[in-house]
Structures are given as structure tokens and as C-alpha cells.
Structure 1
Amino acid sequence: SCSQTPGLKRSSHLTLEELEQREVLVLGLDGAGKSTFLRVLSGKPPLEGHIPTWGFNSVRLPTKDFEVDLLEIGGSQNLRFYWKEFVNEVDVLVFVVDSADRLRLPWARQELHKLEAMSMVEMQQELGLQAIDSQREVFLLAASIAPAGPSSEEPGTVHIWKLLLELLS
């Protein structure tokens, strides 16, 4: 089989293994909750306190039809340089924002815009999508994860997981 990059997974030269994998990139500023999001999705309790991810963190979650690989890249300034290299290589981008950290929301916005991700309104205007359906959808979902340990059964997390599975199917 030929070596395909994850961003080219939809090509006609796919291996069986590539057909059965979906990739999700999880980005956000340091301390936004990316690692906690991955832990809770994988059924583990959140850790107490903030432990920054130095480099990468990944979780593979099996589903009935395929495996979901979630890749987190740390949110520190020196790691954000690499984000853009991965955005086009995955099936879904999840950008985590700590809504309680009001002072850093403009910073999170700036980093998201560096990825050249446009809002739905911008996309509709720039591409004239008002009359047709877009193939790329943007969802704003809120999930609160308390430090003491809600499980993967927390309603917000369950909703996000179901949406991810629907998007990846």
C-alpha cells in the first residue's frame, strides 16, 4: 500500500487500516483543558491542578465502526508554531477554550485565526454559501468539567463525543 498522510485519507488508495481510523486534532491555549477533555472522553477522571502538556498527547478510542485517534498538541507558545502543520492532516479540529479565563479569550481567538479558520458568517460571505450547504460545519459546544471528577458520562462530554462520532462517520 502507498503511504498516505492522514489528510489524504479519503483518497482511493486507502488501506483497510486507514479506512477504519478517524483523526481528531485537539488544540487550545495552555491551561484551556485539552488534556482534561481527552482524559474524560477516555473514561478517566480529570487530574487536580494544571499540568502542561510538553509536546503531544494522544488517545485512541474504539467505536463500533472505527477507531478515533485524538491528538493533542500542547498549547504553550513554542508548540503553537506546529499547529498549522497538523490542521489539514486530520478529519476534525476541536479547539478548546477556557470560557472562565476572560483575559485570555482574545489570545485564544488570535491563535485560532492564525490557523486561518473562519467563522461560519465569514465562510458564507466569502464563498457565497448562503444558497448552498457547506461541507464543513462549525459547532460551538459548551462542556463543563469539574476538577473533582465527572466521568465520561457527564452530559456535555457525552454530547461532544456523540457529535464527533457523527462527524467522523
Structure 2
Amino acid sequence: MEKGRVMKKGKVKKGKEPEKEKIREKGKEEKEKKKEVEKEKIKGKEKGKEEKSNCKEEKRKERETEKEKEQLKGKEEKEKDNSALTKRPLEPPEKNKQILVLGLDGAGKTSVLHSLALNRVQHSVAPTQGFNAVCINTEDSQMEFLEIGGSEPFRSYWEMYLSRGLLLIFVVDSADHNRLPEAKKHLHQLIGTNPILPLVVFANKQDLEAAYRITDIHEALALSEVGNDRKMFLFGTQVTENGSEIPSVMQDAKDLIAHLAADVQGPRPGPLCSCQSKSP
């Protein structure tokens, strides 16, 4: 009997061991699955972080590229300005003095000058970057004009060339009220170095609604203070319809300029030059 009981107990033990083993195996599998799920989650998070990091890196590179482009553009513009400044026109001999055309940028110097040269309205869109030399022929004389850019980098050249000027043409924008004090300051600085240099002022853009009239321009530029020994003339000008004949007032101004230049210059032998423009 004791023996039979022992055998019976042994059989019960053998029956329960495989079930426990299965439970343990199943538990291990579930743990393994959980680990795999956790690994996948970690991988997903790392991938998200990596993609976010790559996105930030790409945006940073884009910003750096844009910044480099802007710096390169600024450098090119600076080099262009420096190049324009270093390329001066050939200095004319004393007997070939020129009529200087000066004024702030945007006043319309080039448009006025080309209109006088061609006897018809010729608009200019781009501002003069440096120097613009033009020769104008009349029936019995020739006139050599030199326009110098009106932006800040070129104003230091104004007085340098003033000593070789036959006369000074100063162009102002009649409608740009805010810059008239600045124009006045530069004009009086120029004429202060030469008390007898003839002066012709063009109050340009008279066709604009906001333009000051001639009397207002005379007062704004303090032209009554230019000196009693100086020949001074003020014209109201405009260049409206491109290609049309120049207004009669511009023709009158052209005739006067030729007369003044002839008085200062005296008789000049030699062939007439053809109209041309030069820029550095």
C-alpha cells in the first residue's frame, strides 16, 4: 500500500510539471513581445528625433545659404561701386574744360542732359554710377558736358572737377521737398570755392503736381546768396513725353549755356565732336 501511494504521488507530479513549463514559456514569450514592442517604440522615437534633427539641419543650411547669398550680393554691389569710383574719365587738358552737370541722385540730370543733346525728350531710368560724358554740337560751337553721379559715394568728386568747369549746371527735383535743404547745402559748398563760376539751375520735374514753382525753388536754394559777381540763371524744366521735342524753355536754356560757355572759353578751333555717352 505504501508503495502504491508513492507511485500515485509520482504520477501527479509528472502531470503538473509540463503545465508549469508551458506557463513559464508563455510568460517568457509575452515578455519578449513586450520587449520587442518597447524596442519598436524606442526606434520610432529615435527615428522621429533624427527626422526632426535633419529637418532643423536642413533649415539651418538653408538660412546659411541665404545669408551667404546676401553677403555675396552685398560684396558684388560694393565691388561694383568701388570699381565705378576708381574708373575716372580721362582728365581733359585745360583748354578742353567741361560744363559740369551736378545734383543729387534722382534729380533727373541724365534725362535733362540727353534731352539737350538730342533735341528731344530722352528719359533715363538707371541712375548714373560714376561719370557720364556727352558732347553737344550747335550751329557754331561744341559743348563738352560731364555729369557726375549724385549718390553719396560720388559727391567727393564734385569739387575735384569743379576747378576745370566752364560753368556749373545744378539740377534739383522740384517735387522732392525733403531733399531741397540737402541740395542747397551741396550747391553752396560748390559755388563757395569759386565766386565767379557761372551757375545755371534746372528746377526739374515741374510737370509733377507736388513740384515747387520757380519762386519757391529760388527761395529754398537761397539763390539770392550766390554772389553779386556770378552769372546765375534759373529754369523750370520737365521731360514728360519720351521722344517728343524738348520744351521751348529747354531750348532757351541750351542756347544760353552755349553763349555762357563761349564767353568763358573764347574761340576754339577744331572739328565738332559727335554726341556720345561714357560710363565706367
Decide: shared fold, TM above 0.5. yes
Q: 1:5 to 1:84 in 2, by over 3 A?
A: same
**Is 2:258 aligned against 1:165?**
yes
Query: What TM-score, normalized to structure 2?
Result: 0.46
Is this contact kept in 2: 1:30–1:52, CA < 8 A? yes
Is this contact kept in 2: 1:41–1:152, CA < 8 A? no
Matched AA of 1:46: Q
Structure 1 Cα separation of the partners of residues 149 and 92 of structure 2: 25
Query: What TM-score, normalized to structure 1?
Result: 0.74
Which residue does the alignment assign to 2:106?
A: 31
1:137-148 equivalence runs, <5 A: 137-146=231-240, 148=241
Structure 2 Cα separation of the partners of residues 4 and 155 of structure 1: 32
Structure 2 Cα separation of the partners of residues 84 and 55 of structure 1: 15
Matched AA of 2:103: G
Shift of 1:58: 1.4
Shift of 1:141: 1.3
Which residue does the alignment assign to 1:123?
A: 227
Partner of 2:236, secondary structure, is coil
Deviations 1:107-154 (A, max 9, x none): 111111221447554523xxxxxxxxx3x30111111211x3264531
Q: 1:23 to 1:115 in 2, by over 3 A?
A: same
Matched AA of 2:236: A
**2:155 paired residue among 76, 80, 83:** 80
Deviations 1:15-36 (A, max 9, x none): xxx5xxx621000000001000
Which residue does the alignment assign to 2:128?
A: 53
Is this contact kept in 2: 1:120–1:138, CA < 8 A? no
Structure 1 Cα separation of the partners of residues 164 and 92 of structure 2: 10
**Is 2:164 aligned against 1:89?**
yes
Amino-acid identity (%): 36
Structure 1 Cα separation of the partners of residues 236 and 131 of structure 2: 24
Q: 1:98 to 1:110 in 2, by over 3 A?
A: same
**1:154 paired residue among 247, 263, 273:** 247
Structure 2 Cα separation of the partners of residues 4 and 52 of structure 1: 24
Considering only CA atoms, is the larger Rg found in Structure 1 or Structure 2?
2
User: What is the total number of aligned residue pairs between the two structures?
Assistant: 142
Is this contact kept in 1: 2:191–2:226, CA < 8 A? no
**Is 2:163 aligned against 1:69?**
no
Structure 2 Cα separation of the partners of residues 122 and 71 of structure 1: 22
**2:178 paired residue among 86, 89, 103:** 103
Structure 1 Cα separation of the partners of residues 246 and 121 of structure 2: 11
| Gap runs ≥5 in structure 1 | 10-17, 125-133
